[in-house]
């Protein structure tokens, strides 16, 4: 299935971090990717994300302001499973 890509806007890029705002209209996706750095996600909105992985899919509930962390090497595709726009800021730690 081909989906429309989510919209990334890079806000910071320096020797210590990459900060990107991600905006997901309903049904949009990041595309399959492998994280090259440890990262922190800071949700700006509530919503549900479908995480597609090689070992199976799962739904992640986002709550505005409730951050979570991920590790380098994570491979997945992230899809907005909500009926509204979902926005988060991703901070990659270099």
pLDDT at 2: 80
pLDDT tens digits along 62-91? 999 999 999 999 999 999 999 999 999 999
Question: Can you give 37-78 as a three-state secondary structure string?
Answer: CEEEEEECCCEEEEEEECCEEEEEEECCCCCEEECCCCEEEE
Domains plus CATH for the chain?
7-93 (2.60.120.10)
């Amino acid at each position: 299935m081909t989906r429309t890509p989510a919209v990334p806007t890079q806000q910071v890029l320096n020797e210590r971090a990459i900060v990107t705002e991600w905006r997901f209209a309903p049904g949009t996706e990041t595309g399959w990717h492998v994280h090259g750095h440890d990262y922190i996600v800071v949700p700006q909105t509530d919503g549900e994300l479908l995480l597609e992985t090689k070992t199976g899919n799962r739904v992640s509930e986002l709550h505005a302001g409730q951050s979570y962390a991920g590790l380098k090497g994570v491979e997945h595709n992230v899809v907005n499973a909500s009926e509204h726009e979902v926005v988060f800021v991703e901070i990659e730690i270099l």
